[in-house]
């Protein structure tokens, strides 16, 4: 979970000129035969004023980064169809980067560049485009900007934990209708970021996870109506806590569907108080996805050291090792997780209880599937807060040896995904006041095979 630094925004001192003066200078240059008054960089707005502009690529600017560097708060960078071989950094607040066509506006790392788009500008948005073939992340939202934290990977002796005082969380972000595929680590990655939304997006072919939310407290974030498949992990949550919602997502055909983790090598542990409602978590047994370092395979939801999380009204089907695994992790006991009223299909183990104590964990009304141990401690079936030792630990006997995976480069290209309606004319909408009211009750149990 290393991060990549942003570039300094180039100054645009000429913008201080009144429009009349700028026009006079252009006319004078034309009379003298001088260059400098072409349409390059024009955005159809006065040099001063509060009105937002639309900066078009490649019509006004030859690259996305040049347009982003020129943009000021409230502007939209609208990108026409094409393959853009560049990395983009958004450090100005309230910038909206939008593709005119989700599947045809492609930021391609060519397996040479680290990140597709890195956002450190508060309340900025990336929507309706594709990021692919990067050596780290497709799309990164983060409050970290220090060059000393550049690099790849996560955890271990060479990892510098987040300094939350030095790098306060990015406030406000949104990813909508983004396709991320075949990036080495994460597809859409929110790290040290809060007050955000990830929606209607897609991730595949990632050697870590398609969508990741990490190290935020409170997160105040909603991840909704996304599709994540053919990754090592579909959705990953690490040390991300409070006001965090995963609603109506489809997580299928990964090696592991969802992981909810506490990590003592990272800031803001333990993870706690996330809500998972109305998700479909199906058939996470894909041996043609990138192999994860810890070898997990065939698991729908893995909870490692997470606390006080809610898993309700999810459909969890056809995961060969287990629908749900609950265990302690790195000194963090798994406590108070409520797993209730989910549709857990037959043919899989419903819950493997590897935690040493019940710790207020609840498993109730999740379908008639076996558990390990079977039966579970009575207090878990009764959703009692009373803490008791688990005398007979569970056993992940179905996992066997995880089959080898494939390189993230070799996962097949995904089909085109639905785009943002009216993308070319819809006004810019910065990520202000997010996530708004969260209607958890509106997400019901998904239909079978939905």
43-67: per-residue pLDDT in tens?
344 343 446 799 999 999 999 999 9
Q: How far apart are CA 127 and CA 214, in angstroms?
A: 21
The answer to whether residue 281 sits within a structural domain is yes
Residue 81, pLDDT above cutoff 50: yes
Mean pLDDT of the chain: 87
Q: Tokens 């429009």 belong to which residue?
A: 19
CA distances from 396 to 80, 113, 134, 141, 333 (A): 50, 39, 34, 35, 18
Residue with the larger pLDDT of the pair 128 and 5: 128
169-224: per-residue pLDDT in tens?
999 999 999 999 999 999 999 999 999 999 999 999 999 999 999 999 999 999 99
The answer to whether residue 119 sits within a structural domain is yes
256 DSSP assignment: E
Residue range 246-263: mean pLDDT, rounded: 97
Answer yes or no: pTM beyond 0.95: no
| CATH code: domain of residue 374 | 2.160.20
CA distances from 49 to 16, 19, 74, 136 (A): 10, 10, 12, 39
349-359: per-residue pLDDT in tens?
999 999 999 99
User: Which range marks the domain in which residue 414 is found?
Assistant: 54-442
The answer to whether residue 33 sits within a structural domain is no
Measured in degrees and rounded to the nearest 5, phi and psi for residue 66 equal -65, -40
The answer to whether residue 8 sits within a structural domain is no
Count of domains observed in the chain: 1
The answer to whether residue 227 sits within a structural domain is yes
Q: Tokens 């043919």 belong to which residue?
A: 347
User: Which pLDDT band, with edges at 50, 70 and 90, does 152 fall under?
Assistant: very low
The answer to whether residue 325 sits within a structural domain is yes
| Of 149-163, 186-200, 283-297, highest mean pLDDT | 186-200
Percentage above 70 pLDDT, the chain: 84
């Amino acid at each position: 979970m290393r991060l990549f630094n942003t570039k300094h925004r180039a100054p645009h001192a000429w913008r201080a000129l009144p429009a009349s003066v700028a026009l006079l200078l252009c006319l004078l240059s034309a009379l003298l035969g001088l260059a400098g008054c072409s349409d390059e960089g024009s955005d159809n707005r006065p040099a001063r004023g509060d009105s937002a502009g639309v900066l078009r690529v490649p019509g006004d600017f030859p690259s996305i980064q040049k347009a982003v560097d020129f943009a000021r708060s409230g502007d939209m960078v609208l990108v026409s169809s094409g393959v853009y071989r560049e990395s983009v950094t958004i450090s100005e607040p309230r910038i909206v980067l939008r593709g005119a066509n989700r599947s045809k506006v492609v930021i391609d790392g060519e397996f040479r560049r680290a990140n597709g788009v890195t956002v450190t500008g508060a309340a900025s948005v990336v929507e309706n485009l594709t990021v692919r073939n990067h050596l780290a992340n497709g799309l990164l939202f983060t409050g970290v900007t220090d060059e000393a934290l550049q690099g790849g990977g996560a955890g271990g002796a060479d990892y510098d934990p987040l300094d939350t005082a030095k790098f306060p969380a990015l406030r406000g972000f949104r990813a909508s209708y983004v396709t991320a595929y075949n990036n080495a680590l994460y597809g859409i990655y929110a790290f040290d970021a809060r007050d955000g939304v990830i929606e209607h997006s897609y991730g595949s072919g990632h050697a870590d996870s398609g969508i990741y939310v990490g190290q935020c407290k409170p997160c105040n974030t909603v991840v909704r109506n996304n599709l994540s498949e053919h990754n090592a992990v579909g959705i990953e949550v690490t040390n991300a806590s409070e006001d965090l919602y995963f609603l109506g997502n489809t997580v299928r055909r990964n090696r592991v569907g969802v992981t909810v983790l506490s990590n003592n090598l990272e800031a803001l542990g333990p993870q706690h108080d996330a809500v998972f409602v109305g998700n479909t978590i199906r058939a996470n047994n894909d041996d043609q996805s990138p192999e994860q370092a810890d070898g997990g395979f065939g698991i729908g939801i893995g909870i490692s050291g997470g606390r006080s999380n809610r898993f309700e009204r999810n459909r969890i089907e056809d995961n060969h090792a287990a629908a749900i695994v609950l265990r302690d992790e790195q000194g963090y006991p798994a406590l108070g997780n409520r797993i209730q009223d989910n549709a857990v299909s037959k043919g899989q183990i419903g819950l493997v209880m590897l935690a040493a104590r019940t710790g207020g964990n609840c498993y109730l009304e999740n379908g008639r599937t076996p558990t390990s141990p079977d039966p579970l401690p009575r207090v878990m079936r009764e959703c009692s807060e009373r803490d008791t030792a688990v005398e007979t630990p569970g056993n992940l006997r179905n996992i066997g040896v995880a089959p080898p995976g494939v390189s993230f480069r070799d996962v097949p290209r995904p089909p085109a995904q639905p785009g943002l309606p009216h993308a070319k004319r819809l006004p810019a909408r910065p990520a202000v006041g997010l996530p708004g009211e969260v209607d958890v009750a509106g997400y019901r149990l998904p239909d079978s095979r939905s």
